[in-house]
Amino acid sequence: MVDSRWSSASSVSPGRRRGPELERAILDAALEQLGTVGWHALTMEGVAAGAQTGKAALYRRWPSKADLVAEALRTAMPQIGDIPDCGSVREDLRLLCVRTREVMYSRGGQALWSVLHECDHAHAERFHEVISSRLQEPVRRLIGELLMRGIRRGDVRPDATGPLVVDVIPAMLMYRSKVCGSEWEDAEIAELIDGVMVPLLRV
C-alpha cells in the first residue's frame, strides 16, 4: 500500500516557480510571443504555455492581454539613467542620444513599436503611455537638466530651455528611426549634435 503522505508530496513539482520568478517567466513568454506571432495572434493560452504555467496564474496578475503586454513591454525597456557631467553640453547630449538609442533598440523597445503597428487605436493609446513613461518623458527631463547644466557651465545660452528645444532630439531620433528607417550610427548622432543642437544652443 502506498503511503498517502508520499503520494501527496510526489504530486508537487519540485521545480514549481512562484512569485517574482514566475512573473518573470510569464513576461518573458509574452515578449517571445510578440516576437514570433505578433499582437493579434498572441493569446493568454500561448503565453501560459510558454511560461509553463496555467492561465489562472496570468489572470490573477493581469486582467487582460493588453494589461499583460503593457507590463511586459514596460519591464523589458531599460531605463536611460542619469547622464554624468562629460565636461560639455556636446558630450552630455551625445551620451544621452546613445542611451536613448539603446532603449529604442532594446528587446522591449523593438517589441513596443511592432505592437503599435498592429494594434487598434484604443490599444495604441494604452501602449503610447509606455513610450511616454519609459522613453519620452525621461529623455525630455534629462535634456532639460543637461541644458540647465550647460547654462551654469557657460556653453548654453540662457534662453535655450523652451519645450521645442527640448523636443528636438527625441523627435529626430524617433522620426528618423521609425519613419525613415535610420539606425542612428555614431556618425549620425555626432551630426545631429554638431549640425543641429550645438548651433541651436550656442551662447
Q: Do domains 12-75 and 80-201 have the same CATH topology?
A: no
Q: According to DSSP H, which parts of the chain are helical?
A: 4-10, 19-36, 38-41, 44-51, 55-61, 65-76, 89-104, 107-118, 121-131, 137-153, 163-178, 186-192, 198-201
Distance from CA of residue 109 to its chain's centroid? 5
Sign, Cα dihedral of 170, 176, 182, 186? negative
Q: What is the pLDDT of residue 7?
A: 38
Confidence band, pLDDT 50/70/90 cuts, at residue 10: very low
Q: What is the pLDDT of residue 149?
A: 97
Given a contact cutoff of 8 angstroms between Cβ atoms, the answer to whether 131 and 112 are in contact is: yes
Q: Which amino acid is at 191?
A: E
Q: Is the pLDDT of residue 79 over 70?
A: yes
Q: Is the pLDDT of residue 183 over 90?
A: no
Q: What is the pLDDT of residue 126?
A: 87
CA distance 46 to 141: 38
Q: What is the pLDDT of residue 16?
A: 63
Confidence band, pLDDT 50/70/90 cuts, at residue 68: very high
- Model confidence pLDDT, tens digit, residues 125-160: 889 999 999 999 999 999 999 999 999 999 999 999
The pairs formed by 143-151 with CB atoms below 8 angstroms and a separation of 24 or more are: 143/93, 143/96, 143/169, 143/170, 145/83, 146/83, 146/89, 146/92, 146/93, 146/96, 147/89, 147/201, 149/85, 149/89, 149/92, 150/88, 150/89, 150/92, 150/201
CA distance 90 to 69: 37
Q: What is the pLDDT of residue 181?
A: 76
Q: What is the mean pLDDT of the chain?
A: 89
Q: Is the pLDDT of residue 8 over 60?
A: no
Q: Is the pLDDT of residue 123 over 50?
A: yes
CATH code of the region 12-75? 1.10.10.60
CA distance 69 to 119: 12
Confidence band, pLDDT 50/70/90 cuts, at residue 172: very high
Mean pLDDT of all residues in 11-35:
81
Pairwise pLDDT comparison (12 vs 112), residue with the higher score:
112
Buried b (16+ CB within 10 A) or exposed e, 121-149: eebeeebeebbeebbbebbbebbeebbeb
Confidence band, pLDDT 50/70/90 cuts, at residue 121: confident
Given a contact cutoff of 8 angstroms between Cβ atoms, the answer to whether 30 and 75 are in contact is: no
Q: What is the pLDDT of residue 15?
A: 52
- Model confidence pLDDT, tens digit, residues 47-63: 999 999 999 999 999 99
Please state the pTM of the whole predicted model.
0.83
Given a contact cutoff of 8 angstroms between Cβ atoms, the answer to whether 190 and 149 are in contact is: no
Domain boundaries, the chain: 12-75, 80-201
Q: What is the pLDDT of residue 5?
A: 40
Please give the CATH topology (third level) of the domain spanning 80-201.
Answer: Tetracycline Repressor; domain 2 (1.10.357)
